[in-house]
Amino acid sequence: MKRFTVTSTRTVLLMVSFILLFLCPGCSNSSEDSAAYPIEQQTASNIKTVLHTSATGNHEQARSTRYIQPVSSSSRKPDVSQIYGRIQFVEHFPDYRVKVVNHFPDLRVQKVNHFPNRPGRWQIVNHFPDYKIQIVDHFPDFTIQWVDHFPGPRN
């Protein structure tokens, strides 16, 4: 009866590790594999390592197991140099939440009517946008400043 409890505990731990691996498949600690293997192969490698470690009880290998690290929201800043084109302002379900500031913006934005083909040049539209933007006062993804000249990301 005691062995059944230990086995079921291991099973529960394996199930939890599977769930964590599939919730964030590309968030492994090791960066040397990330360029060489696609996400599916990285996930399979993580699962094999966890399975082998739990089956053999090898604590040396347990120390080298790549566990998933959650990514904090502050480190997920978007690449503002890629945000240009046709922009629609929305109240719900935006692609990015933006705060308008007067000093030290992440992106200087110029409103244009034609050719929004460079970073910081936005053509405001009502239909078929490239990006949907919500203007917020708190917790923005990045900040912008409206300008008439020299649009683009902060250097």
Residue 36 lies in a domain: yes
Residue 96 has pLDDT above 80, yes or no: yes
**Do both 79 and 144 map to the same domain?**
yes
Average pLDDT over residues 19-46: 50
User: Is the model's pLDDT at 25 over the cut of 70?
Assistant: no
User: What pLDDT does residue 42 have?
Assistant: 47
Q: Residue 126 CB: number of other CB atoms within 10 A?
A: 8
> Residue 57 contacts by C-beta under 8 Å, 6 or more apart in sequence?
none
Assessment of whether the complete model's pTM goes beyond 0.75: no
Q: 24 and 53 share a domain?
A: yes
The model's pLDDT over 36-92, given as tens digits with 9 standing for 90+, comes to: 444 444 444 454 454 454 455 554 544 444 444 444 444 578 999 999 999 999 999
Domain range spanning residue 104?
Answer: 75-153
> Within a domain: residue 70?
no
Burial category of 114 from C-beta neighbours within 10 Å (exposed 0-12, middle 13-18, buried 19 and up): exposed
